[in-house]
Amino acid sequence: MTAVTESRPHGTRARYVLGPGPGRGPGCRCDSCRAANRAEARRRNRQIVYGRWQPYVDALPVRVHLRELAAAGVGWKRAAALADVSTGAVSRILYGGPGERPPSQRVRPQTAAAILAVRASADQLAPGALADSTGARRRLQALVATGWSQARLARLLGMTEANFGAVMRRDQVTAGTARAVSQLYNRLWNQPPPEHDQRARIAASRARRYAADRGWAPPLAWDDDLIDDPSAAPAEGWQGPARRRSADLAEEAEELFRRESYTREHAAARLGVSLSGLDMALRRAQRAREQEHTAQRARFGGAAAGEAGYQAEAG
């Protein structure tokens, strides 16, 4: 037995007029579809009374937008799916038909709005279509700034180092590559690179230095809503002073330990320093506190001895 796929849900005027689909058929007269038809009639009547009734709009801007999407790699069938509009409606806007009918000159406002809302972002392109590389490049640069070496990132992406270097240089990448980089970034942006041995520590240190020399911003300098925008810039002041005082670094890390329950590794990644550098700052801060405590005890002891001597003389 073959299942019937219903393209128009209950409770819509489209099903009331055209049936379940696909194509045109006897309309549905269930209670929910009748209610939807009455609601649409009331809305139409109100718009007519207020002088705002606009059953159709010009199809030319929609047709131009569909062609621009196609040039960017989003085919018209894909655009129809993203807009939740039937392929037949989109085909008529572009090509006309059936028979010798010319392309549609007018479309429903809802149809126009849905199609015009589709954008040629990497998430919507076919894997092999070309997309702007800005977001992918910035994400990779940010990971390098936290200590992930380009060689390790290339391996995680399943690329050769030569292909990885091309991604970092080119103005466009495939949509599939852009999505892979975005997924990797979402997984690693707050994760420190492994520094379990001397070789790994050297690789992480070199990566940070390489990024610093080129002014590559770390993840925390980028707003997720702006990182793909070629005209956007990192947050102001992200670079900070050339060298951060050890005491300030330790204070910032201890605040993360206390308020955010960060591990040492996560704090180092958040602050953009190596784990060994953070540990050194923490040790120095601890020694400074111990020295201050010792000095306070000495001052207190001296003050107490002075008071005792004064009392003895007074007696």
With contact defined as beta carbons under 8 Å apart, do 135 and 178 qualify? yes
Of the candidates 117, 111, 79, the residue with the CA atom closest to the CA atom of residue 14: 111
With contact defined as beta carbons under 8 Å apart, do 185 and 143 qualify? yes
**Is the Cα torsion angle 251, 254, 260, 265 positive or negative in sign?**
positive
Is 181 part of any domain? yes
Highest mean predicted confidence (pLDDT) among 9-23, 95-109, 158-172, 257-271: 158-172
Between 164 and 132, where is the model more confident? 164
Is 15 part of any domain? yes
Q: Is the pLDDT of residue 262 over 90?
A: no
The boundaries of the domain holding residue 277 are 246-301
Is 35 part of any domain? yes
pLDDT 10s digits, 25-59: 888 999 999 998 898 888 878 877 777 777 788 99
Q: Which long-range contacts (CB under 8 A, 24 or more apart) does 271-280 make?
A: 272/145, 272/146, 272/208, 272/218, 272/220, 273/244, 273/249, 274/147, 274/195, 274/201, 274/204, 274/205, 274/208, 275/192, 275/195, 275/201, 276/195, 276/201, 277/249, 278/249, 278/253, 280/246
Same domain, 150 and 195: yes
Same domain, 215 and 161: yes
Q: What is the number of structural domains in the chain?
A: 4
> Cα 165 from chain centroid?
23
With contact defined as beta carbons under 8 Å apart, do 193 and 148 qualify? yes
With contact defined as beta carbons under 8 Å apart, do 176 and 128 qualify? yes
Is 96 part of any domain? yes
Same domain, 34 and 82: no
The answer for residues whose C-beta is within 8 angstroms of residue 226's C-beta and 6 or more apart is 232
Q: Is the pLDDT of residue 119 over 60?
A: yes
Identify the residue whose tokens are 């306070």.
296
Same domain, 75 and 16: no
Is 125 part of any domain? no
Is 159 part of any domain? yes
Same domain, 89 and 28: no
Q: What percent of the chain has pLDDT over 90?
A: 21
Mean per-residue pLDDT for 269-277?
A: 75
Same domain, 44 and 82: no
Of the candidates 143, 58, 145, the residue with the CA atom closest to the CA atom of residue 105: 58
Low-confidence winner among 24-33, 87-96, 127-136, 241-250 (lowest mean pLDDT): 241-250
